[in-house]
Chains A and B, each alone.
Chain A
Amino acid sequence: MIQYIIRRILYAFPLLLGVNILTFVLFFVVNSPEDMARMQLGHKHVTEQAVENWKQQRGYHLPLLWNAEASGTSKITETIFFQKSAGLFWFDFGISDSDRRNIGADIKQRMWPSLAVALPTLLLGLITNICVALLMVLFRRSYLEFGGIVLCVVLMSVSSLFYIIGGQFFIGKVLKLVPISGYDGGFQALKFIVLPIVIGVISGIGSGARWYRTLFLEEVEKDYVRTARAKGLSETQVLFRHVLKNAMIPILTGVVVVLPLLFMGSLIMESFFSIPGLGSYTIDAINSQDFAIVRSMVFLGSVLYIVGLLLTDISYTLVDPRVRLS
């Protein structure tokens, strides 16, 4: 087991290296730092000196891969690749392009609001979806199920933007139950995060419940379920004790893989509700064309995804004794 985990962690390095090289090519080779500077400073009426200063202040004046002017090891270390891209491996994110803040510190501070919204959304959404799916399976081949399926298709055909706008308008503006947007520290945050969580759960029901329903239906056809019924168990007992347990394996793996990514938050949710999390951080960076932050978030996201993959593999062995890692 430990051996397997170590091997998987080692396998993560080439992947991260790939991500790193890809982002390096996207951000420094396709577009030179020169272009970035001009983008930030505006295209017209900008002097060479200003561009040079901008690059100097942010460390973009170095050569890309090989510094011929330096001596010894600094031929490699005094380059953009080493300082900007390789640094990501030890989570040294550097400073942002637009206002030269420390990105690492910002991330540490902003990931908690993201988590405060994303984690309850995921958990409540999971419970709701499973309940709805189980109900549909329980009443299968009835008008109730048909209605449920139709409702699911309708729900999943609505853009998530409309859920947010509608929720903000009806719950926040018309009924005035909760503030429309904002955030606060400590328990004060609760009243701000209720609405995003509720909207997040509702917007996920359509596709989630449908997907779980197919999982449950596949399981319901199996022999052990028929045996359980033949034994005289009631339909609810069969569903909750037998079917749910066995269908949990694919559900669990789907959930575990996104767990680490919860730190990244949801982009649109956070920006609509002005929650100071990593999602709105990313959006702000995209809007102000801050390449340093986008680069850091790309790398962070990949690390978290790879951690998620690893956790998925481990959780497989924990829930399903038939799976042996080798």
Chain B
Amino acid sequence: MVVLWTDALIFVLLLGMIVLSVYMLRNPRMSRPLRQIGTSKTGMVSLTVLLFFVAVGLLDSMHFHSKDSNEIVSVLDQWLSPIRLHGEKTYSAPFAAHLFGKELMVLEDGSPVWAYPRLQYGGAHLDDPESELFYDVLMKASIGFIKSAIPAAIVLVLLVQRLRRRQNALISQASVKAVAWTVFWIVTVCGTLLELSSYYHVLGTDKVGEDVLYQAIKSIRTGLVIGTLTTLIMLPLAIVFGILAGFFRGWVDDTIQYLYTTLNSIPSVLLIAASILVVQVYMAKNEEQFTSLIVRADMRLLFLCIILGVTNWTGLCRMLRAETLKLREMEYVQAASALGVRRRIILFRHILPNVMHIVLISVVLDFSSLVLAEAVLSYINIGVDPTTHSWGNMINGARLEMAREPVVWWSLAASFLFMFTLVLAANLFADSVRDAFDPRRMG
């Protein structure tokens, strides 16, 4: 068992989320907004998709030393080891049985010929790929589909029926049905892909012959880490400073305002670039601290989250300050202070719970923009480590191949597909959270 820094923080965050959701489910004040999310079909479907991504990310966050080789691998790696280890020589198209480029080969009779060599793993079980490939892919896909669809359907039907009998108050019947369908499709698509990918490279291979599907799945963790850990670092800063500035005013307010205007005035990309350069120099200087490649990449990911968090808290802080300024003039706060309630207690009991909806909305809204930002930052080489699997790195590697003829499109398509699904789900979920919790949108 190896616990990397980001792993530990992810599980801390997970614990926090579980505590928060238990609190929200128990709190009667929260039942109205929660029920509103529960009745929104888009909200629940996007939440299901997000949870699926989170599950993959969590599986990828449990690392241990592999028995066969002395590498650090995750549980997900272990599961996907057929795809992970079936590397080819170089580029190959999705479902191809041959390499993408021609090579000089020697025939059995000794004469050299310029042809496409067969892949080592992709479609290796076929005798004559030209005629059999299409039929075989169809066959394997339907086997995978049936294998995963039947158990999924049985389990889901049973679950849905039990839920119906219990008359769950939070989630509406229509949403339950939509969620069940989403889960069904996710499971069957995954099952089909798994079945296919033990025979083929479903999304092709990249320059060094690594399976693109595997890369895209591994990138999920990176995207999630950036989207969530940054928030973990940003929240304490924003909440503490924002509430203090609004509540105490005077010199505290002036200092905090000065602080965030200064930070805000630096273009964030440049601040990130500057900090990453500094981190790079630091890591180059203290090379002995980073024992393995994966630890090093992990540290860089953590640093990136910290830097993004430090540059990102100003917006939320400003909103919280404005809201606190408004709240402290409210009658109930005035009454509390007139009754002699201590200021500390007022802050915790009267101010903090009433700004939480702003925090929640901005956390969910920020998530998708952070996932998108990662790709851009990795493109400018100030994002995650080049050895880390991330969508930004995939795009970066594939971008130059667009000039090839015919085009190597699958890396781009894969990263586009995965990133788009995650960000779209996050955006839709953020919308329904905002609709439910924003008092201005009620009615």
Contact = CB atoms under 8 A, between A and B. Distances in A.
A306 B270 contact: no
Contacts of B399: 161, 165
A305 B274 CA distance: 18
A152 to B, nearest CB: 10
Contacts of A173: 402-403
A286 B277 contact: yes
Contacts of B392: 161
A270 to B, nearest CB: 11
B277 to A, nearest CB: 6
Interface string A286-321: 110101001101100110011001000000000000
Contacts of A39: 280-281, 284
A159 interface: yes
Interface stretch (B83-91, B194-202, B333-341, B371-379): B371-379
A86 to B, nearest CB: 17
B422 to A, nearest CB: 9
Interface of A: 14-15, 18-19, 22-23, 26-27, 30-31, 35-36, 38-39, 43, 153-154, 156-162, 165, 168-169, 173, 261, 264, 267-268, 271, 282-283, 286-287, 289, 291, 294-295, 297-298, 301-302, 305-306, 309
Contacts of B275: 26
Contacts of A154: 424
Interface in B330-385: 368, 372, 375-376, 379-382
B274 A159 contact: no
19 contacts: A15-B261, A35-B281, A157-B368, A158-B416, A161-B375, A165-B399, A169-B402, A261-B267, A286-B380, A298-B270, A298-B271, A298-B274, A301-B265, A301-B267, A301-B270, A302-B266, A302-B267, A306-B265, A309-B265
B258 A15 contact: yes
A23 B427 contact: no
A27 B274 contact: yes
A291 B280 CA distance: 12
Interface in B389-417: 391-392, 395, 399, 402-403, 407, 412, 416
B50 interface: no
A291 B278 CA distance: 9
Nearest to B269: A267
A14 B257 CA distance: 12
> Most chain-A CB neighbours within 10 Å: which of B267, B391, B424, B427?
B267
Contacts of A165: 395, 399, 402, 412
Given A35-B285, A286-B380, A18 B262 contact: yes
A66 to B, nearest CB: 23
Given A31-B281, A298-B274, A305-B264, 15 more contacts: A26-B274, A36-B281, A39-B281, A153-B427, A153-B431, A158-B420, A159-B395, A161-B375, A161-B395, A161-B399, A282-B270, A286-B277, A286-B382, A287-B381, A302-B266
Nearest to B416: A162
Contacts of A291: 277
A96 B414 CA distance: 40
Sorted nearest first, the 3 A-B pairs with minimum C-beta distance are A18-B262, A301-B267, A157-B424
A157 B420 contact: yes
Interface residues of B, number: 44
Contacts of B273: 282, 286, 294
Nearest to B263: A22
A interface, by DSSP: helix, strand, loop or mixed? Answer: helix
Contacts of B277: 286, 289, 291, 294
Contacts of A161: 375-376, 379, 392, 395, 399
B278 A159 contact: no
Contacts of A14: 258
B266 A160 contact: no
Interface of B: 258, 261-262, 264-267, 269-271, 273-275, 277-278, 280-282, 284-285, 368, 372, 375-376, 379-382, 391-392, 395, 399, 402-403, 407, 412, 416, 419-420, 423-424, 427-428, 431
Nearest to B275: A26
B402 A305 contact: no
Given A18-B262, A162-B416, A294 B376 contact: no
Nearest to B270: A298
Contacts of A283: 380
> Most chain-B CB neighbours within 10 Å: which of A36, A267, A271?
A267
A302 B265 contact: yes
A168 B269 CA distance: 24
Nearest to A295: B274
A19 B264 CA distance: 10
Nearest to A31: B281
Nearest to A303: B265
Contacts of A282: 270, 273
Contacts of A158: 416, 420, 423
Nearest to B375: A159
Contacts of B266: 19, 22, 298, 301-302, 305
Contacts of B424: 153-154, 157
A294 B277 CA distance: 10
A263 to B, nearest CB: 11
Nearest to A149: B431
Nearest to B378: A161
Nearest to B426: A157
A35 B382 CA distance: 19
A24 B427 CA distance: 38
Contacts of B375: 159, 161
A19 B262 contact: yes
Given A15-B258, A30-B278, A165-B395, A157 B267 contact: no
Contacts of A43: 284
Given A30-B282, A43-B284, A268-B376, A15 B265 contact: yes
B420 to A, nearest CB: 6
Contact of B278 (A27, A169, A287, A302): A27
